[in-house]
Structure 1
């Protein structure tokens, strides 16, 4: 009863977790302290995390393993061959302790090497009660049957808090994105800017900062309607993402104004500008692009102002000659 009281007391803090990894770390700590669980891990399919490219990470990962001789990366490589993670993926958990002889042979070896004799798996569920993860635990000695009920309650509580975290992360992501194009907005740009800087610093690659807008965009809206204008903005967003690929980020910071960062070895402002412009050559609208290399002497606002100045300098000598839509 004392162990159960300690478990309940400490589990009350789980709802304070702001990230899934933080939650699972707290859960692992409580289970190690208050139950005779000698080893464990959490298997979970990501559902919500988008990077600055707008890509969703839906991979299945192993989190917070303890008491296992194999490192996390090795366990993660075997996860799709387990009896708990099946299909595309789907998760199947019995919620009871079983001898490790019930496991696939390579998983038997993993648990034997860690001196474990029994294993149990409890499901982590989403809001629709669909299993999206598993809490997998191992024990050296015979299982205590009443622990199965407590671990089921633990899994239910983890499932509820995971869902709260998911919804919070989705709201955070939506607040950083332009609702029309799905690109980052100003807030999202500033949030992910340090990631691009860190990647560039580790690789030694320069960062080129560019600005782009549509020539005569007001005329497009006035003559063809705002729906056509929205189509143009969506096409620009998709084209910029294609041009940048995995080498930077793109944002819509207002109206027809776009900002992008591009970082690869040997990149120069003029080369990047030409590559981006070429992507728009066959479009039924004109864009103007200005780029600068981000140097150590420039802070972010100085760099953005310089790119903006280059953009309007280009507008000055191109004369906005083509007006097609």
Structure 2
């Protein structure tokens, strides 16, 4: 994660000139060049003859019939996130000096870097708006944004989706007895245990207060077993919680409908725990 946004593998885009329609080959060449970045850095932001490139990169680039190559880095938040790679197959005409060509590329790289920086800033803000600051989990908005994709995946693979709710039973008591910092620590502990007991691709969120939610993919339409497994994992760590779950498509066809059913079952779980404690 970089500034709250997942880094992506560098991808080549080439739509004109000698690089056009040869992106697969060029991607391989760029991937190789990235492994030699320490050799390329001193040659960036200026034009260089192909024969002056690092020796193990010369042959690949000569294959494009290039006379000169220029690499201009794209920078966002003081780190290189991409590059413009340009090539010349012919000498520069008398009307365009090396200095002018370099200045044009400097300006182009700066403008694109600024645009990418603005895009990244927007993505960071969007990501932050979907996160719970205390636990680092998604908040309700973050869950709602990611839920449609998970529903679609389950429809494609024929699996089932379980919406589960988890409530801490003793958060108020912890806050009153040991203080809110201890209560915050307990919330983070619950978040960590839940996250470790779901599969990759499942959703874990904190809805606020002592309420957590999960969206689980399951081979069976069984909300009880899925939520009981999480409850037991928390109980083994000395944390008392109540849980409830609903199966998407059976108990409801929307987040709101499934939430109502899961919340009713969570209430039943809490009442049953109180009855057992009273015996």
* TM bracket, shorter-chain basis: 0.7 to 0.9
Q: Which residue of 1 aligns with 2:89?
A: 140
Rg larger in structure: 2
Query: Structure 1 unaligned runs (5+)?
Result: 1-45, 51-56
CA separation of 1:183/1:94 partners in 2, compared to 1, >3 Å: closer, same or farther? same
**For 1:76 and 1:315, how far apart are their aligned partners in 2?**
57
Q: CA deviation at 1:64?
A: 2.3
1:198 and 2:198 aligned: no
> What whole-Å deviation, never above 9, does each CA across 1:286-305 have from its counterpart, x for those lacking one?
01111221116522210111
CA separation of 1:276/1:218 partners in 2, compared to 1, >3 Å: closer, same or farther? same
> What whole-Å deviation, never above 9, does each CA across 1:151-180 have from its counterpart, x for those lacking one?
111111222222222222212111111111
**For 2:186 and 2:61, how far apart are their aligned partners in 1?**
57
**For 1:280 and 1:180, how far apart are their aligned partners in 2?**
19
Q: CA deviation at 1:82?
A: 0.8
Counterpart secondary structure, 1:288: strand
**For 2:75 and 2:105, how far apart are their aligned partners in 1?**
14
- C-alpha RMSD over aligned residues: 2.8
1:284 and 2:238 aligned: yes
> What whole-Å deviation, never above 9, does each CA across 1:38-75 have from its counterpart, x for those lacking one?
xxxxxxxx83454xxxxxx2344124233345435x64
Counterpart secondary structure, 1:263: strand
Q: Could you tell me the TM-score, scaled by structure 2's length?
A: 0.83
The 5 A counterparts of 1:242-257 are 242-257=196-211
Q: CA deviation at 1:211?
A: 0.3
Q: CA deviation at 1:319?
A: 1.9
1:98 and 2:52 aligned: no
Q: Which residue of 1 aligns with 2:254?
A: 299
Query: Structure 2 unaligned runs (5+)?
Result: none
**For 2:126 and 2:157, how far apart are their aligned partners in 1?**
29
Out of 5, 29, 32, the residue aligned to residue 81 of structure 1 is 32
**For 1:282 and 1:260, how far apart are their aligned partners in 2?**
19
Out of 4, 19, 23, the residue aligned to residue 71 of structure 1 is 23
The 5 A counterparts of 1:303-318 are 303-318=258-273
Q: CA deviation at 1:83?
A: 6.2
CA separation of 1:83/1:193 partners in 2, compared to 1, >3 Å: closer, same or farther? closer
**For 2:193 and 2:221, how far apart are their aligned partners in 1?**
19
Q: Could you tell me the TM-score, scaled by structure 1's length?
A: 0.72
The count of aligned residue pairs is 267
Out of 188, 201, 217, the residue aligned to residue 171 of structure 2 is 217
Q: CA deviation at 1:284?
A: 2.5
CA separation of 1:277/1:77 partners in 2, compared to 1, >3 Å: closer, same or farther? farther
Q: Which residue of 2 aligns with 1:119?
A: 69
Q: CA deviation at 1:115?
A: 4.3
